[in-house]
Structure 1
Amino acid sequence: MASFKENIQESFLGLSEAVQETWADFAQFLREAWPLLLGLLFILMGIWWYADPPPPRHVSLATGSAGGSYEALGKKYVQFFAKKGVTLELVSTNGAQENLDRLIDRHDPVQAAFVQAGVAHPKTIKGIQTLGAISYDPIWFFYRGPEVKQSDFEVVNGRSKFFAQKTISVGVEGSGTHAQAMRILNVSGLDRDLKFVYLPGKQAVKAVQAGEIDGAFIVDEFEAPNVQALLNDPNIHLVTFKRAAAFAKLIPYMHILDVPEGSFSLQRNYPSTDTTMLATTTNLLIDDRMHPAIQFLFLEAAREINGKGSFFAKRGDFPSFQDSLLPESPVAVHYEKNKYPLLATYFPFWLAELINRLVFIFLPFCAIAYPLLQSLPSFRTRRMYSKISRLYGILKTYEQDLLMNFSPERREEYLKKLDLLEYETLKLKVSQRLSGE
């Protein structure tokens, strides 16, 4: 009876021989079927290239008016994309409505845009998807003059004690500021009790500081120059939304921001009490035909740039996918659950994308092509039998020649022919199953 050690050795020897035979058979298969495999690979590569073309190296992003905060944000995205080898072109526009119009236009080169939530009407928008919200946009309502009591802002039957017949800037028509201001005024019932002017941000700041108008809506981040200019002006005050919770109920995309006493200025103790503000969000909208790899790049840029903490947002709050009014991109849904593909952590963007795309062609190729070719009816058997039959045919010819025309003087010639046939036979490689033939 063999010892345990001998049994182990025999098992490993058998396994090693089986692996060697399988590998030899596979190598022989490649030598025989490589033209067919190569043809199949070219077909699959063509399908792959057509169905999933490589990501573009140039992308256009609509921001907003030149010199605005969206343009400043866009420049940060440009730097991020440049590190990944992609050129991001910023396109200045007149505001959110133009951004939407350009995204909807299937012939416009703009593929992405910053648009405030609430500007788009989901039922009328087609061909646009969202990559989520990337920041808060507080709604600031500044007024000029002495600071008044909160009760003076209350609206009764569409009239306000303080703002009756006052002139208010509600932003340029088509801009995000105009959309948010009019929505709030409509819900409040104040849209018939005020005089409206439609000034861009910088002009509105100058006009309210100069006393040319009584108030101005500005929808922008806390750090924006226009917002800071009015917050630091002692003659300008901020309307706080006492009924912020009610606005948030009536306007689904609105958020409530808590502002502790003295947060804007400890020296002035401004605001003088804990207050609440309303805010919308900036959404990153895309043409739904955008390449998935570029979408991942935008999402990663949003995480790196907008995911940092700010005055109103905590670190990691953005990008956010909780309150989107437009259809979410499937890439954004995947990103929310899985974050960026693992390969991008270790390889440059283009190399990671190439590897990722190649995996999707080679894995199906290896999983399907090899078993398929092996299962082709008598493909390999016919080729091997053909080789063996050719040798037997040559041998049969020699045999007939010897029987019919044997000559002792040609003995050396016969031996040379047999040696050559033996050499060709030794070079012939067949599968283990047919080696006996």
Structure 2
Amino acid sequence: MRRILRDLKILILANLWLVPVVAGLVGALFYFVAPPPPMHARMATGAESGGYHAFAERLQAELEQQGFELELVPSRGSRDNLAKLGAGEVELALVQSGQELTLDDEARKSISGLGVMYREPLWLFTTRKVKFERLADLLELRLAIGGEDSGTQAVTAALFAANRIEPTAYPQQWQALGGSRAADALLARELDAAFFVGPAENALIQRLAAEPELRLVSLRRTEAYLARLPYLSRLEVGEGMLDMANNTPDRDIVTLGPVATLVAGESFHPSLTPLILEAAKTVLKNGSLLDSAGSYPAKPPLSLQTLSEADYYYDKGLPILQRYLPFRIASLADRYIILAIPLLVLLFPLFKAIGPIYQWRIRARIYRWYKHLREIDQQLYKGQLNGDISAEIERLEKLEDELARVEVPLSYSSELYELHMHLRYMIERLHAVQRRQAAIPAP
């Protein structure tokens, strides 16, 4: 056991040069590796009573289980969300599809789509006395077209523009109201009709659907609208889908609607993409009244550039490490593995050199003694050995004693003993020369 420990000590001492080399490479690994992604982000969500905020709260609760803090920032709607995203006030925002088309090319390049979260139907509720066939029937009615900068107003404005109807031409009857304010005004009969955008499960939509004096109407000519507004989609709502007790709607209807898109700004860390999308997938896994289970999240609209991390998620799912490890651990491991590969490529030849260098270092302990023996041998051969031979013999005998204290691994003992033999051989040769010199009579 003592022999093994001694050999191990010799091996370590012979390769101490590796310590600063490996330390330098490991230091470079930690210096150049990208910092871990932040575990905090801000999301613009629209009004606190809206569908965006309700979805964001569910997403926030799901992310909290992963140790990620999602801060919700209320806003006036989709346009305001884009403004906050562009100003760097938030890293994420829920935006109604089509709103990105209002941005210039430079501003659009600064945002990226993470995915579609769900569809947002456009609901038109009217009082029972209103007769509605097409949008032109709303011209003389008291109508809420959605709040300022809201997604509702953006959709209604697009529909009216397709019919060459200018909302500003009817300032008395049409009001820029949306959300709970428009719902309260409609229920109080201060309005004849009102547009709303949001998921069928939204509390505000459910509240209106449960009101027997209101009616949910169908939009006609949907194919004509879709040809002009491709960011909208057609939605079929079956009889009683919103409220079976009140049979709302009272017949099968068709409506249009954009999709709620999760958008990231330039300050968003791309590595957070799979974490956010997987949390959204969990939140949306059961579907909704209008969206089947497992349909969302889905790839964002083509009008938005997509992060490569989002493309990977939709094509292959979570990164391999994140399938088995918590996000924080998997993210760190993923970063270090990327740089660890070139590190190992550099270390491999170094470790491969350990054997030859170790062999050279051990043999150097033995072979350095041969230099003096070689010098004496050459002097004997040329007859140039000067000085006192006795002193040289004494020096070699001291070297022999020192050699006895040299430690080498057991596998190199044969070479050490050969040196002992050669050293003794040289001492005997000097003794022979000394005897010959003593036998020669003085002149």
TM-score, length-normalised on structure 1?
0.79
Choose the corresponding residue for 1:67, options 46, 49, 54: 49
Cα 1:129–1:342 shift into 2, 3 Å: same
Alignment of 1:18-417 (within 5 A): 32-48=17-33, 52-105=34-87, 108-121=88-101, 123=105, 124-146=107-129, 148=131, 152-154=132-134, 160=136, 162-192=137-167, 194=170, 195-321=173-299, 323-371=301-349, 373=350, 385=360, 388-389=363-364, 391-397=366-372, 404=389, 406=391, 413-417=398-402
Secondary structure at the aligned position of 2:67 is classed as coil
**Structure 2 CA distance, aligned partners of 1:35 and 1:416?**
35
1:273-296 per-residue CA deviation (whole Å, 9 max, x = no partner) reads 322111111100002442233111
Paired amino acid for 2:68? V
Change (3 A) 1:401 1:76: farther
SS in 1 for 2:156: helix
Structure 1 residues 210 and 113: CA distance shift in structure 2, 3 A: same
Residues 27 and 177 of structure 1: CA distance in aligned 2, closer, same or farther (over 3 Å): farther
Q: Distance between the aligned counterparts of 2:57 and 2:66, measured in 1?
A: 15
Secondary structure (helix, strand or coil) at the match of 1:318 reads coil
Alpha carbons of 1:414 and 1:34: their partners in 2 closer, same or farther (altered >3 Å)? closer
Structure-1 separation of matches of 2:243 and 2:357 = 88
**309-318 or 73-82, which moves further after superposition?**
73-82
The DSSP-based 3-state class of the residue aligned with 1:61 is: strand
Whole-angstrom CA distance in 2 between matches of 1:384 and 1:262: 87
Structure 2 CA distance, aligned partners of 1:222 and 1:395? 94
Letter aligned with residue 340 of structure 1: L
In the TM superposition, what is the alpha-carbon distance from 1:28 to its structure 2 partner? 11
What SS does structure 2 have at the residue aligned with 1:189?
coil
Distance 1:399 1:322, change over 3 A: closer
Per-residue CA distance 1:345-376 (angstroms, 9 max, x = gap): 322221111222221121222234424x589x
User: Which residue identity is paired with 1:164?
Assistant: L
Per the TM alignment, residue 29 of structure 1 is displaced from its structure 2 partner at its CA by 10
Aligned partners of 2:114 and 2:300 also within 8 Å: no
Letter aligned with residue 402 of structure 2: K
CA distance in 2, matches of 1:369, 1:414: 40
Q: Percent identity?
A: 27
Contact 2:48 2:54 in 1 (8 A): no
Aligned amino acid, residue 36 of structure 1? V
Q: Are the aligned partners of 1:60 and 1:110 in contact in 2 as well (CA < 8 Å)?
A: yes
Q: Deviations over 1:383-406 (max 9, x none)?
A: 865764564334434776998554
What do the CA deviations read for 1:8-34 (whole angstroms, capped 9, x no partner)?
Answer: xxxxxxxxxxxxxxxxxx999976534
Amino acid at match of 2:48: A
What residue identity is the alignment partner of 1:418?
L
Deviation of the 1:109 alpha carbon: 4.4
Which residue is 1:420 aligned to? 405
Question: Aligned in 2, Cα 1:168/1:424: closer, same or farther, shift over 3 Å?
Answer: same
- Within 1, Cα distance between the matches of 2:321 and 2:45? 30
| Residues 1:120 and 1:211: Cα distance change in structure 2 (over 3 Å) | same
Cα shift readout 1:48-68 (whole Å, capped 9, x = no counterpart): 1xxx21011221111112233
**Over alpha carbons, which structure has the higher Rg?**
2
The structural deviation recorded for 1:93 is 1.6
- Secondary structure (helix, strand or coil) at the match of 1:102 reads helix
CA distance in 2, matches of 1:394, 1:166: 111
| Kept after mapping to 2: 8 A contact 1:104/1:126 | no
Taking the aligned partners of 2:230 and 2:15, their CA distance within structure 1 comes to 62
User: Quick one: structure 1 residues 54 and 188, their matched pair in 2 at CA, closer, same or farther if it must change by over 3 Å?
Assistant: same
Question: Helix, strand or coil for the counterpart of 1:362?
Answer: helix
Distance 1:260 1:109, change over 3 A: closer
Over the aligned positions, Cα root-mean-square deviation in angstroms equals 3.2
Q: TM-score, normalised by structure 2?
A: 0.78
* CA distance in structure 2 between the aligned counterparts of 1:39 and 1:397, rounded to whole angstroms: 39
CA contact (8 A) 2:45 2:74 kept: yes
Separation (CA, whole Å) in 1 of partners of 2:274 and 2:412: 53
* Distance in 1 of aligned mates of 2:92 and 2:277: 12
* Structure 1 SS opposite 2:290: coil
Q: 1:99 to 1:264 in 2, by over 3 A?
A: closer
